[in-house]
Amino acid sequence: MIGPGSTIRTRIALVYGGVFLVLGACLLGIVNLLSRAGTEDEVAAIRARAVPALPVTDVRGGTIVQLTDSVRVAAGQQMLIWSAFALLGTALCAVVVGWWTAGRVLRPVHEMTAKARRLSERTLHERIGASGPDDELKELGDTLDALLARLQKAFDSQRRFIANASHELRTPLATQRTAIQVGLDAGCSPDELAATKRVLLDNNRRSERLIEGLLVLARSERGLAEREDVDLGEVVSEGAARHEVKVAASRSAGVVRGNRLLLAQLVGNLVANAVAYNMPDGSVDVRVESGVLTVCNTGPVVAAEDVPALFEPFRRGEGRDRMGPGAGLGLSIVRSIAEAHGGTVTAEPGPEGGLAVTVVLPVS
């Protein structure tokens, strides 16, 4: 019996031997039955040729009958005994061959396991690098390599996020400390004290927006616990109205299965970014149709190679609010919310400047 702690190599060898034993027993059983039937026919033919004219009770006939019966029984017993010994010996050889074959087949798995054990947070750049024919084992190695690549990307993103968040939080704290020191100065005038209060209030609001953005980003990355039918056109209209932006919506804006608050945050971030990073007297265009939301503005020229970086946390574009009220999390939150709803988000530079951000959400 195969125990729960046995290795897969042992299990493969024993299963291989067991299957061979069962199939071999069936084969030998059929051979023995056919051999016995053939022997019966041959014995009958011998009897017919040896005593064609003698009655069954004749002494010579009786001797021939006994002799042929003894030979038949002895041949059957010998064949059965030697078949059993041959079957057991061959089954043992099958176990040995199964053990050797399993070792050869599982050797790449042991190598993958050894490499995986050596991996850590600092060595995620290493890969399994499975070689050989394009079979299931190579597919497993390639899958592990893809998993390691995703983990490396996640760890790198997490490290950058922590570093950027620390920097973003350190700046308002340093400003607040300086303002408090100025306010505590005995020779501080009423105007200077009022300015200090305004600085503290602005920095406090900036810190609140940063923390709120981090909370929304974390919430959207956890996925959606509850879903409801949300009229995308209605959410877009409400979000654009808060920034006094008109929406070009079709009758089939689409119904999205998701979280209304997060979708409102997605729309609000897109429109707020388009307004904040726009040119003076520029325009913002918002369109929605069949689950596709597009927000364009007439901001400064953005290089195509810089677009992917805008979706990273704490990355800001060039515009009139370069260091403005945002925390640099707008597009990061948009991407995270879109992915949580099973959608995608892309961005393209405008032909004369600005950015066109397109969010595609599955509609029901």
Number of structural domains found in the chain: 3
Same domain, 181 and 250: no
Residue 142 lies inside a defined structural domain of this protein? no
* pLDDT at 210 (0 to 100): 65
Same domain, 283 and 346: yes
User: What's CA 285's distance to the chain center, in Å?
Assistant: 36
Tens-place pLDDT, residues 172-199 = 777 777 777 776 776 677 777 787 777 7
HEC assignment per residue over the chain: CCCCCCCHHHHHHHHHHHHHHHHHHHHHHHHHHHHHHHHHHHHHHHHHHHCCCCCCCCHHHHHHHHHHHHHHHHHHHHHHHHHHHHHHHHHHHHHHHHHHHHHHHHHHHHHHHHHHHHCCHHHCCCCCCCCCCCCHHHHHHHHHHHHHHHHHHHHHHHHHHHHHHHHHHHHHHHHHHHHHHHHCCCCCCHHHHHHHHHHHHHHHHHHHHHHHHHHHHHHHHCCCCCCEEEEHHHHHHHHHHCCCCCEEECCCCCEEEECHHHHHHHHHHHHHHHHHCCCCCCCEEEEEECCEEEEEECCCCCCHHHCHHHHCCCCCCCCCCCCCCCCCCHHHHHHHHHHHCCCEEEEEECECECEEEEEECCEC
pTM equals: 0.52
Examine the fold and report which residue of 84, 118, 152 is the final residue of a domain before the chain moves on. 118
Same domain, 209 and 190: yes
Same domain, 251 and 354: yes
* Of the listed ranges 24-28, 192-196, 230-234, the one predicted with least confidence: 192-196
Mean pLDDT across the chain, nearest whole number? 76
Task: CATH number of the domain at 274, please.
Answer: 3.30.565.10
pLDDT, average across residues 85-97: 83
Examine the fold and report which residue of 118, 146, 179 is the final residue of a domain before the chain moves on. 118
Q: Which amino acid is located at 276 in the chain?
A: A
Same domain, 54 and 31: yes
Residue 154 lies inside a defined structural domain of this protein? no
Same domain, 348 and 245: yes
Range of the domain at 97: 8-118
* Of the listed ranges 149-163, 283-297, 311-325, 337-351, the one predicted with least confidence: 311-325
Are 115 and 126 a contacting pair, CB within 8 Å?
yes
Task: CATH number of the domain at 190, please.
Answer: 1.10.287.130
